[in-house]
Amino acid sequence: MVFPHLEEVGKEFVKTNATIKDGYRLIKTHLPYDMVPQNKKAKYIFVVRNPKDCVVSFYHHTVGFPRHYNFADGHFDTYFNLFLNGQVDHGDYFDFTRKALNHKDDSNVLFLRYENGRANPREYVLQIAKFLNEDIYPAKLLADDERLLNLVLEHSSLDSMKKDPTRWCSDRTGYQPFIRRGSTGGWRELMSVDQADKLQERLEEVFSKEELEFLGELYHK
């Protein structure tokens, strides 16, 4: 009700039921950019995660949720090939990211890297606050010795998310937890050097050198 998932509940639910506070409504989606409803008054935050960690995380999610996927006994090598060929949820990672990256400089778009949020959550939150309303939200977060900012950091931490996962997903009793590690660089546990090289080749085919520099070191190794 507070932060509905658009493709799960549909636009009519969002329109009639989603909570509106101070004239604002929060909506989350995994739709590619060209399928997301557009409005000049809306602000869009896109978060990208490097494909090496992304495919490993997505594999664990798929294996651990047999209610939605017939892949409980699936092997990583099989899933890797599906991911590389764009045959997973939400389609091709590279095409998906390419469409969003084309809009990274739009005035109402904030393009964020997941890795930055893990490395420096405080600055990450303040960056989002500034984007949403530079005149109001940063000052509110920093008032009273950063009381609100510390609350946001506490309740958006992985430890807090693990305590109450139903804030983020449907019931997964008996299955793997929705919140697993949230780390960066953990792909090496499952991925071979050859597989990592294949992802790197795709990155270099789809994105320019400057774009890979913008995306960060995990994208251009």
| 12-70 tens-digit pLDDT | 988 888 877 777 888 999 999 999 989 989 999 999 999 998 899 889 888 887 777 88
Assign 215 to helix, strand or coil: helix
76 and 190 Cβ atoms separated by less than 8 Å: yes
What's the rounded Cα separation, in Å, for the pair 198 and 175? 31
Residue 87 is predicted with a pLDDT of 93
Alpha helices in 18-157 (DSSP H): 51-63, 76-84, 93-101, 114-119, 121-133, 137-155
Contact 55, 74 (CB under 8 A): no
The yes-or-no verdict on residue 154 having pLDDT over 70 is yes
DSSP one-letter string for 1-17: --S-BHHHH-HHHHHHH
The catalytic position among 5, 30, 90, 220 is 30
61 catalytic per annotation: no
For the chain, the 3-state helix, strand and coil shares in percent, each to the nearest 5, are: 55, 5, 40
pLDDT tens digit sequence for 92-150: 999 999 999 999 999 999 999 999 998 999 999 999 999 999 999 999 999 999 999 99
Domains of the chain: 31-219 (3.40.50.300)
In the block, residue with structure tokens 């008054």: 41
